[in-house]
Structure formats: structure tokens, C-alpha cells
Amino acid sequence: MNEARLEMMDDSSSYVEGEMTVPSSKTSHLGKPEFNTLDEPIKETIMRDVKAVGIKFAYVLFPKEKKTLLKEWDLWGPLVLCTFMAMMLQDSSDTVNENDGGPQFAEVFVIVWIGSMIVTLNSKLLGGNISFFQSVCALGYCLLPTTISLIICRIILLATQTYFLFFLRLFVSMAGFVWATYASTIFLGDSQKEGRKVLAVYPIGLFYFIISWLVISHTN
Amino acid sequence: MAELEEVPTDELLLFHDFPTTHNTTASAIPQYINTDTANIPNYDEFAEGKGNSNDSNDSIDQPNATKSFWTMEYFQQFFNVDTRDVHMRIIGSILPTNNSTLRTEMRERPDLYGPFWICITLIFAIAVSGNIADYLQYTKAEWKYDFHIVTYAATAIFMYITLIPLCLWATMKWSIKSINIDDFPEQMPNVLELICIYGYSLFIYIPASVLWTIQVNWLQWLLVMVSAILSGSVLLLSLSNILKLSKHKIVLSLLIVGFHLLLAAGFMLYFFHAPSSSSSTTLVPITMDKIINIPKNVSESHK
């Protein structure tokens, strides 16, 4: 029979004390700008978020730093990109009797969101140490190269189509695919163990390949 | 019984009001708690498990570890594979060899990573190359791609990958020889192993579906036969231990290979094959027109 002595003693003065002020000193030493969101104009609040989204876009286009995109995740960028792509790619059902075989708005939307969730879940199941929304955020922001390739393809489609222009579109969308995969690998590749990197990167590549296939196949 | 002193259970079970702040008089009293390790049977194991919990692989590697269905860890045990494992299993699903170590490892440690991503890849490989094949067959000026091949391919593949293993498992349950159950209870497969084996056996259809875009009739059929026979024979080899136990092993093996061949032929005919009957269907309106037109001409000439 062992006896453990559990001391449930507290420090002598146990009443909670403190001051009801904004702990400004705490935020400043983390390197964040010091601001008070309560009494600033609404324009500044919105512009700050827009700027944050813009900075993340820049990181995707020039993927150098690894942690910045993940540290403060948001889903605004992915939402904007996904909605834009779904609008551009959707089936133009001008003719009532027959659709042109392209995906519907909701189908593109579902492919992007469910697809990025499945890819994230896959890397979580493989034992990756990254939070769910961080990964969804990074995957969503990395849609930017494919969105740019979609815009270029739409511009090319304005001209009369030749084989050369088809191969140009193919090249553009493949470049978008490679770029997106490369950027997301930089952001997410570190979260896996050494022997499993390929297993985690392959679904990411497949995800962007499918989206690039939608981009190249889209003709109106 | 009389020696036991009466415990005031009612008092113990009552709800008490404890102060939210620690008052000094109560906290000053040290609390004696009896920690009899003998009362906790798995104390040592528990402590060891705690110590090793940093290495998450340890807990996953235990084959008989029972985890709650609703936790991440439960599903992580099906994704506990390395790149090398998946690579070896894919190669093993194409080349029928007598090397049984891979097969036993696959049965001991079935994964869902390979089957799931092989299915997804196959769906989109069929969708992409099916569209290319459709374009090559197309003769009219304007061609539009068909996104909804994805839906048909996904339905077919996920039906195949779930229903066939389930049916096979159920048939095995029903037709197993009663003597053998006692001898080899561990030989009875579970559904997961069967799904794993079936999922990897679909891999060969990915390169096949890319090559099916080449619009040469005999080449397409050759690809169907080669891919179905290769992966079908691997399927039979890996299932042979299980099928031995069944009373109807010949019928079952024929059905397995038959369905595999049917799937390949179905893919090829539905998504890639230029319908040879298309010429006859286009001919029909022409002949109908002629039939309708002739009496008109005749009647006009009579006038």
C-alpha cells in the first residue's frame, strides 16, 4: 500500500487580480503591428484584410517563404478564386435543348472544395503535422496560377482557333499546373515524414491536374 | 460482514457546494490518497504507453490495437504505408509472381491509400483520355468535351471496388468448408483485405486507359485482354489461399476473372471504342429519306 501525498495547496494570495486594459505590450513583441480595431474607420479594417489576401497571393506567385502563408490562414482568397473559376468554367447553357458538356457551377465548386478537403484529409491520415484549415488555405491560394492560366486561355479563345493556338493553351494550362503544384509542395511538403512525401504530394498534383484539365477543355 | 463499518453512502453521494476560490484553510490540509497499484491491472502497460506516445507510429503499428471508429487514429491505421510499400504493392499488382511475402504483408497490413487514389486516378484518366478518344473519332466541325464522363466512370469504379469484394466476402462466409474454419480461423478474409487487393488490381487499367485512345480496333482488344489477364491472374494468386477454403472455388475464380474482364471490356467499349454500328445508324435516316422521297418523285412524275 503506497501512499502518495497530494498537496492541494495554493499560493497564499489566491484572489484574481489584474487590470482591465488591452494588453498592448503582448501583441507588440510578436512583431505584429499595434492597432486598435475598435475606433478605426471601416475602410482601414477592410483594406488591411484585402492587403493580407494580396500578400498571400504574392507568396504563391513567388514561393519563397514557407511559413507565412500558413501562420495566419484565411479562406477569402480561395473563395474568390474558386467562385471566379466556377463562373468562368461553367456550362454556358444558351441553347436550351442541349448543354455543351462542361461542368455546372456547383460541380466546379464542389471539385475545388471537396477536392482540397480530401487532399488535406489524406495528408492528415498519413500522419502530417499541419492543421486542417491551414492546408485547405494553402491549397486554395495555390489555385492562383491555374486561375491566371484560365484567364490567358479565355483571351486566346477569342481568336479563331488553330492547332498552334490549341498547343499554346495546352502549354499555358500545363504551366499553371506545374506552378501550382510546385508552390503548394513548398508550403505543404515539410509537414510529412521523409518516406511519405511522395504519397502526400501525389494527390496535390492530381488535384491541380484535374483543374488544369477543366481549364484546357473549356471552349466557348 | 459485521466487521465492515457502515459507510455513509447517502452523504457521499450528495452534491456539495465547493467554494470556487481556494480558501486557505481547506488547501492547507494535505490530502492523502491511496494509490494501490495492484488495483489497476494495466498500470505498467499504461505507463509505458504514455511514455511512447511521442512516437505515433508505435501505436499505429500494433495490429490488434482497437480504436474508436470516430477518431483520426482509427483511420490512420489504414494509411500507415510508406512510398516504398505503395510502390512495391503496385508493381506486385501488375506482375504475377510466386513471391508470397508481399501478398502476406498485404493481408496483414491492408491499406486504403492505394485503392482510394488508384480509383480516383483511374476515374480521371478515363475521363481525360475518353475525351481525347472521342475527339479523335469526331468528324464534325465542332467538338465539345463531355465533363460528365467523370460521373459515369466514378459510379462504375466505386461500385466495382465495393460491391465485388463485399459479394465475395459474403459468398466466402456462406460457402466455406466447415472443417477448415476450425483449422485456419485466421485465413478467413475480412472485407478490408479484399478491397485492398481489388483496389491495387485496378492499377493496370490506368496505363491501359491512356493507350486505349489509339483508335486501332485490334490494339484496343489486345489491351483489354492483356491487362485483364495480367491483373486477373494476380488477383487469383493473392486470393488463392482464401479460395482454397471454399466449396465452389472453381466457380468463384471464374467469376472473379470474368468480372475483371467485363470491367475492362466495358470501359473500352463505352468510353473509347468508336462504335462500328454508327455507320448503320447514320445510314438509317438517309434510307428513310429515300423511301419517303421516292413516292413523292413517283407521284410528281406521274403528274
Separation CA A138–CA B273 (nearest Å): 40
CA distances from B106 to A66, B75, B88 (A): 37, 17, 10
Identify whether B302 is part of a domain. Answer: no
Identify whether B263 is part of a domain. Answer: yes
Least confident range from A110-114, B32-36, B169-173, B248-252: namely: B32-36
Domains of chain A by residue range: 37-217
CB contact under 8 A, B82 and A199: yes
Residues of B with CB under 8 A from a CB of A: 21-22, 24, 27-37, 56-57, 60, 72, 75-76, 78-84, 86, 113, 117, 120-121, 124, 127-128, 131, 144-148
Separation CA B128–CA B154 (nearest Å): 13
Range of the structural domain that residue B166 is part of = 84-272
CB contact under 8 A, A199 and B121: no
B170-213, pLDDT tens digit by residue?
Answer: 888 887 766 555 555 556 778 888 899 899 999 999 999 999 99
C-alpha dihedral sign at A88, A90, A95, A99: positive
The pairing of strands B31-34 and A3-6 is: antiparallel
Identify whether B28 is part of a domain. Answer: no
> For A154, what's the count of Cα atoms within 13 Å in the CB-facing half-sphere?
12
CA dihedral B114, B120, B121, B125 (to 10 degrees): 150
The interface predicted TM-score (ipTM) is 0.78
Separation CA A98–CA B117 (nearest Å): 33
DSSP H helix total and E strand total for chain A = 9, 1
| Closest chain A C-alpha to B184 CA, distance in angstroms | 33
Q: Is the model's pLDDT at B18 over the cut of 70?
A: no
Separation CA A83–CA B250 (nearest Å): 55
Residues of A in contact with B82 (CB under 8 A): 195-196, 199
**A3 touching B, CB under 8 A?**
yes
CA distances from B119 to A210, B115, B158, B210 (A): 14, 6, 8, 15
Separation CA B181–CA B187 (nearest Å): 8
Q: Which residue has the higher pLDDT, B154 or B38?
A: B154
The H-or-E segment that residue B34 falls in is strand B31-34
Identify whether B1 is part of a domain. Answer: no
Report chain B's mean pLDDT, rounded to a whole number.
Answer: 73
B119-150, pLDDT tens digit by residue?
Answer: 999 999 999 999 888 888 876 667 778 888 89
Q: Is the model's pLDDT at A23 over the cut of 60?
A: no
